[in-house]
Amino acid sequence: MKRKNLIILIVTGVLLLTAVGLILSQESTTLNKEENAFAVEDTASVTKIFLADKDGHQVLLNKKQPDKWMLNDSLPAQQESVDLLLETIHKLAIDHPVSNAAHNSVVSRLASRSVKVEVYQQLYRINLFDKIKLFPYEENTKTFFVGGETKDKMGTYMLMEGADKPYVVAIPGFRGFVSTRFTARFRDWRSHIIFNSDIKEIESLAMKFHNEPEKSFRIEVEDSRSFSLYDISEQKYVPDFDTIKVIEYLTAYRDLRFESWLNYIPDRKKDSITSQEPMYGIHLKGKDGGEQHVKTYKKETPKKRKNIQGKPLGYDPDRMYATINDGNDFVLVQFFVFDKILKPIGYFTGDYELEKPSRGFREVQTQ
């Protein structure tokens, strides 16, 4: 009997320990699930992110390749912003539930001012230990609403779709709020790349100096090591030039970006700027038949800046306006970025001592 009782006691103890373990495990799982309710563990599986705000703005970010996302299936998205968004939704964690006293106020604000976020992922109908994956399909795995920041600016109010309780959500170790990363405005996601062409993709490149036409030129690309150079103003072929400098020059068109969008400025001001004589005109023709036209224009100087002689500058020496995408978009560009392509024809032939061309307006005085 004693032996039988001992066996019963041992079995009972094992069962009790198992039950306690299951309860603790369930509580832990529930807690982890709550803490990571807004987070996406595997962002590599994210295929689409849809964002829409209460003002009618909405965007769809769609992954075409691991490092290539499209905006509304038509334009390249700004990859740095997409990467930041993916990093954000991966790290999101609940800091604490909204208090009962603030519940109604927060819910009301979320209902009137928030961004709806839908996350889509590629899943598999058969997934054995993440080793064998069969029958992929796309599914909307998370939908939540992102509100404004908390009073202390250290968290963001969020609400899962269909839930009653909003939470204060933050990124562990990050001091600040993340609501600004969830924007549904189209211009916030458009790529800032103007040119993104390898030498092997370029058929010809023409640079026109409108105020100094004798500096204008055209390069025709036969292959990555063979080029032809033409003087546009004289309309003639230039036989002697530095091939290495041509290669270095064309390489600059691999990644050339603007600073900010200006499509929102009034048409009257835009028309006033573009009705002036352009500073530079760039025409890149690709071997695929595509063409890109860029024109740049002087920008008024900020706050009456002065030159080294103390005289007021007529125009901004650091930035200029530009039209891109066949004139459909108006942007701001930096000379710091564009100087590497603002080379005159003499740069390639050795007839131009200074690699940095004059911008022609550093000494201009205002009347």
Q: What is the 3-state secondary structure (H, E, C) of 171-221?
A: CCCCCCCCHHHCCCCHHHCECCEEECCCHHHEEEEEEEECCCHHHCEEEEE
Predicted local distance difference test score (pLDDT) of residue 129: 78
Instruction: Output DSSP code: residue 14.
Output: H
pTM above 0.85, yes or no: no
Say which range, 81-85, 216-220, 363-367, has the weakest mean pLDDT.
Answer: 363-367
Q: What percent of the chain has pLDDT over 70?
A: 83
pLDDT band at 8 (very low <50, low <70, confident <90, very high): low
Taking the C-alpha atoms of residue 255 and residue 198, their distance in angstroms, rounded to an integer, is 9
pLDDT at residue 249 tops 90: yes
Predicted local distance difference test score (pLDDT) of residue 301: 81
Q: Which two tokens stand for residue 364?
A: 């201009």
Predicted local distance difference test score (pLDDT) of residue 352: 67
Predicted local distance difference test score (pLDDT) of residue 30: 42
User: Which has more confidence, 31 or 327?
Assistant: 327
Say which range, 39-53, 195-209, 350-364, has the weakest mean pLDDT.
Answer: 350-364
pLDDT at residue 347 tops 70: yes
Please compute the mean of the pLDDT values over residues 158-162 and round it to a whole number.
92
For tokens 């003639």, name the residue.
236
pLDDT band at 7 (very low <50, low <70, confident <90, very high): low
pLDDT at residue 210 tops 60: yes
User: Angle at CA 68, nearest 5°, toward 63 and 70?
Assistant: 60
pLDDT band at 171 (very low <50, low <70, confident <90, very high): very high
Please compute the mean of the pLDDT values over residues 158-185 and round it to a whole number.
92
Under the phi-then-psi rule, with left for phi > 0, alpha for psi from -120 to 50, and beta for the rest, what region is 205? beta
User: Which has more confidence, 109 or 306?
Assistant: 109
Residue 257 in contact with residue 194, Cβ under 8 Å? yes
Predicted local distance difference test score (pLDDT) of residue 124: 86
Please compute the mean of the pLDDT values over residues 194-206 and round it to a whole number.
94
Q: Which of 299, 280, 252, 257 is nearest to 344 (CA)?
A: 280
Predicted local distance difference test score (pLDDT) of residue 128: 80
User: Which has more confidence, 56 or 35?
Assistant: 56
Predicted local distance difference test score (pLDDT) of residue 360: 45
The per-residue pLDDT for range 274-303, each reduced to its tens digit, is 999 999 999 999 999 999 999 999 998 866
pLDDT at residue 361 tops 60: no
- E strands, 41-114, are 46-53, 58-65, 68-71, 75-76, 93-97
Q: For the chain, what is the mean pLDDT?
A: 85
Residue 145 in contact with residue 161, Cβ under 8 Å? yes
pLDDT at residue 25 tops 50: no
Taking the C-alpha atoms of residue 320 and residue 293, their distance in angstroms, rounded to an integer, is 16
pLDDT at residue 346 tops 50: yes
Taking the C-alpha atoms of residue 312 and residue 301, their distance in angstroms, rounded to an integer, is 9
pLDDT at residue 349 tops 50: yes
pLDDT at residue 119 tops 70: yes
Which residues, in sequence order, are bridge partners of residue 124? 136
pLDDT at residue 308 tops 90: no
What b/e sequence results for 150-164 when a residue is b if at least 16 CB atoms lie within 10 Å of its CB, and e otherwise? beeeebbbbbeeeee
Please compute the mean of the pLDDT values over residues 32-37 and round it to a whole number.
54
